[in-house]
Amino acid sequence: MIELRRLSKHFADTTAVDAIDLSIARGELCVLVGTSGCGKSTTLRMINRLIEYSEGTLMVDGRPIDQLDAVQLRRRMGYAIQSTGLFPHWTVAQNIGLVPRLLKWPKSKIAQRVDELLNLLNMPAREFADKYPQQLSGGQAQRVGVARALAGDPDILLMDEPFAALDPITRSNLQDELLRILHQMGKTIVFVTHDIDEALKLADRIVIMDQGRIVQQGSAHELLSQPANEFVSQLLGKADRGLKQASLRQVQERMQPNIQGYQSEQPSISAKASLKQALSAMLWHQQDYLWVLDHQQQPQGLIELADIIPTKPQHRRPRS
């Protein structure tokens, strides 16, 4: 869907992006991550020609973007940014309907699309469509920014640190919302962040950049298991990589399908919770097992500490 070949960007004597190669498949959620100034946002903005590249080739859907009209190209791509970019004198509905109006959709179709997206993002249209941005919380405004990016039904969605300014709870909730709606809609996503935990949670594939170059790319499991160098290891959180790996696995993958002796007053956890959350709950309750419940709070099984940390006999501590 998107292909970068030896792509570079120079600003005067500075090379912001240095001959990178990257292919992003249709329907993939690809996260660019790295420290400030590594070139990730510049790379994102070259894809929709907000910044023109200096050297190399950039293709979208098999066509070089320098052969496409820049305005038409941008209308084919949703774009969500940290500051939302909402027009303060327009209502929520008017903000979301911007691209569909530019695409000359019928008014009835635009209204239907606005309602659909607001409801999809858990913001009922009857309550929010006529509000103005200053009447929204930060999380609500960011939802509207995502809705506007999706409004024209683009094949590609570019997101530049869209949740960076939000508090941790709102940010986590919006990440969950994003994953839910994108799995339904099947868009190709390029997402920029400096937060490695956000990258691990969202990405089908993580691309780690440093000083304008791609130093490693792969799935979260691949990167955590085999970091390419010390920089990648440090970025991933060298001291707690084990906990990060545990955050990628769900309790239901390791639980025992045994509910004998279940008592509702005993500590429990959702089947869809992560192994990291299960470990934390065990530490909090000071016990080495939890009952596992489904979304209807019915028992599904049991998970023990040994299910989270399987110990090989040769790695056991010697007994005196």
- The per-residue pLDDT for range 124-179, each reduced to its tens digit, is 999 999 999 999 998 899 889 989 998 988 889 999 998 887 888 888 888 888 88
Does residue 58 fall inside a structural domain? yes
Residue 313 has pLDDT above 60, yes or no: no
Same domain for 276 and 238, yes or no, is: no
What pLDDT, on the 0 to 100 scale, is given for residue 164? Answer: 84
Mean pLDDT of 290-311: 89
Amino acid letter for position 4:
L
Write down the mean pLDDT value for the chain: 89
Same domain for 157 and 265, yes or no, is: no
Tell me which residue has tokens 């939802």. 143
Distance in Å from the first CA to the final CA of the chain? 61
Same domain for 299 and 239, yes or no, is: no
Residue 320 has pLDDT above 70, yes or no: no
Domain stop point among 244, 273, 292: 244
Does residue 313 fall inside a structural domain? no
Same domain for 172 and 260, yes or no, is: no
Same domain for 187 and 261, yes or no, is: no
* Band of pLDDT at residue 318, cut at 50, 70 and 90: very low
Same domain for 233 and 268, yes or no, is: no
Same domain for 177 and 225, yes or no, is: yes
- pLDDT tens across 24-58, in order? 999 999 999 998 889 999 999 999 999 999 999 99
Percent over 70 (pLDDT), the chain? 97
Sign of CA dihedral 264, 266, 272, 273: positive
Does residue 320 fall inside a structural domain? no
Kind and range of the H or E element at 282? helix 275-285
Report the b/e string of 267-284 with b at 16+ CB within 10 A: ebbbbebbbbbbbebbee
Report the b/e string of 201-232 with b at 16+ CB within 10 A: bbbebbbbbbebebbbbbebeebbeebeeebb
* Band of pLDDT at residue 239, cut at 50, 70 and 90: confident
Residue 278 has pLDDT above 60, yes or no: yes
* Band of pLDDT at residue 181, cut at 50, 70 and 90: confident
Domain stop point among 217, 244, 271: 244
121: left (phi over 0), alpha (psi -120 to 50) or beta: alpha
Domain stop point among 203, 224, 244: 244
Same domain for 268 and 140, yes or no, is: no
Same domain for 15 and 89, yes or no, is: yes
Look at the chain and report how many structural domains it folds into: 2
Residue 317 has pLDDT above 80, yes or no: no
Q: Which domain holds residue 294?
A: 251-308
* Band of pLDDT at residue 251, cut at 50, 70 and 90: very high
Does residue 209 fall inside a structural domain? yes
- pLDDT tens across 102-121, in order? 889 999 999 999 999 998 88
Does residue 314 fall inside a structural domain? no
- The CATH number of whichever domain residue 198 belongs to comes to 3.40.50.300
| Token representation of residue 146 | 């995502």
Does residue 316 fall inside a structural domain? no
- The CATH number of whichever domain residue 284 belongs to comes to 3.90.1280.20
Does residue 45 fall inside a structural domain? yes
Does residue 296 fall inside a structural domain? yes
DSSP one-letter code for 132: -
- pLDDT tens across 91-103, in order? 999 999 998 998 8
Same domain for 230 and 276, yes or no, is: no
Same domain for 261 and 160, yes or no, is: no
Same domain for 194 and 277, yes or no, is: no
